[in-house]
Structure 1
Amino acid sequence: MGKNQHVVKGNDGWNVKGENNSKATSNHKTQKDAIGRAREIAKNQKSEVVIHGRDGKIRDKDSYGNDPNPPKDKKH
C-alpha cells in the first residue's frame, strides 16, 4: 500500500501531498482539481485520499486500497 494523499490548502491554491512529505506533489487552482489528482494517485498506489478543509481539519476520506474495515457510509 502506498502513501495516503492529502488535499490541503496552499498559498496559491490547493495542494496534493503524500503523507509525511514536506513538498507538494502537485498544485491546483481548485480543491476539486486537487481531489481528482489525489484520487488518481491513490488508486494507482492503493491508498487513501484525505481531504482537508480551508481550516486544515479533515472533512472527508476515501479509500482506494484493500481496506480490511471498509466504511459503512452511504455518501456514494
Structure 2
Amino acid sequence: MAERNSYHVVPGDEGWKAEREGSSRASSVHDTQAAAIDAASGYLSRSGGGELNIHGKDNKIRAKDTIAPGNDPRNTPG
C-alpha cells in the first residue's frame, strides 16, 4: 500500500504551524490559521494529495479534508 501524505495545522508559540506528519519540525509558521491551512493544502496538492488535519486552539482535531488527488476514504460526496 502506498504511503499517505498527511499534514497537520496546529497552534504554536509563534503562530500556526503547518507540519508534515512524522516530521520533527514545522514546514512553515504563519500568523493566522487560514494562512497555515492554505500552505498545508499547497504542500499536499504539489506532492500528490493527502489528508489535512486542522487542529483548534485546544490542539484537538476540529476538521479534516482530503486534498486532491488524494483518495477520499468516504464514498459519499461532501
**Same fold, judged at TM 0.5 (above):** yes
| 1:60 partnered with 2:63 | yes
Matched, 1:41 2:16: no
TM-score after normalising by structure 1? 0.84
Say whether 1:70 aligns with 2:74.
Answer: yes
Report 1:2-13 matches (<5 A).
Answer: 2-13=4-15
**Distance of 1:50 and 1:3 partners within structure 2:** 11
Runs of 4+ in 1 over 6 A off after TM superposition: none
Among 30, 49, 53, which residue is 1:50 paired with?
53
Q: How many pairs align?
A: 73
Amino acid at match of 1:47: G
TM-score with structure 2 setting the length: 0.82
User: C-alpha displacement at 1:3, in angstroms?
Assistant: 2.4
1:12-39 deviation per Cα after TM superposition (whole angstroms, max 9, x unaligned): 1000000011100000000000000011
RMSD: 1.7
- The CA distance in 2 between the partners of 1:23 and 1:2, in whole Å, is 19
What percentage of residue pairs aligned between the two structures are identical?
A: 40
